[in-house]
Amino acid sequence: MSTCVNKFTVHSREEQADLLAQKLPNGDVWTAKYIEDTNFRNVLIAVGLELSRTEQAENELYCETQLETTDKLIDEFEQEFGIKGGCLDGFGTTIEERIEAIKLKISLNGTTTNEQFVAIAAILGLDITIIAGWDKATFPFTFPYYFFENLKWARFTMVVDMDGILVGGFPYTFPFTFAESATAVMKCLFSKLKPANVRIIYINES
């Protein structure tokens, strides 16, 4: 997990006390605001300590709201991006793995082209080919041939050829560990990413 850099300056309690003293009136009645071990100065020191804690808490909150450095709010991030109960659920148990699952989910947004779907499969270690249903339903036929109820359906069908599927491992930059097989994860992601009017057919699946 990345180290978070403080967004806000954290002042010491003495610095906070001086800042408070500067905002108070001058004069004989207020001279104790700068004199150590006086009751007035000690009050300013005590208030300054709480202000320092507030600045530190602001930094901690800022770090927690950043995906790269979150810890306590990881559950909220997973809920926001639909990880729990989704295709990437079970990705891992460490904070780093859970963050990478969220980053992967974000990177998949806007997937529309065949090349992008093929790239997703490659991330999971799978080598697939995507063919338009129309190409499978018109002459010259390519085998294996899939029968479509009508040509209208063929126009809105994505045929995923799994003949070149790879076995074992997830050759990705991050240490992926899924509860499901790579093929199952791929199918789950495809079902979520495809347009609503498109269906997917998997062929040459072992």
Positions of the chain with pLDDT under 50 = 139, 141, 168-175, 179
Q: Is residue 103 part of a domain?
A: no
Residue 138 is predicted with a pLDDT of 52
The 10s digit of each residue's pLDDT in 54-73 is 999 999 999 999 999 999 99
Residue 172 is predicted with a pLDDT of 46
Q: What's the structural domain count of the chain?
A: 2
56 with 114, same domain? no
44 with 124, same domain? no
60 with 119, same domain? no
191 with 121, same domain? yes
35: containing domain: 13-69
Residue 169 is predicted with a pLDDT of 47
The 10s digit of each residue's pLDDT in 99-126 is 988 988 888 888 888 889 998 888 888 8
Residue 52 is predicted with a pLDDT of 97
128 with 198, same domain? yes
- Give this prediction's pTM: 0.67
Instruction: Report DSSP letters for the chain, one per residue.
Output: -PPPPPSS----HHHHHHHHHHHS--SGGGGGGGSTTSHHHHHHHHHHHHHHHHHHHHHHHHHHTSGGG-STTHHHHHHHTT-TTSTTTTS-SSHHHHHHHHHHHHHHTT--SHHHHHHHHHHTT---EEEEHHHHHSSSP-SS----SSHHHHHTEEEEE-TT---S---SSS----SS-HHHHHHHHHHHHS-TT-EEEEES--
136 with 193, same domain? yes
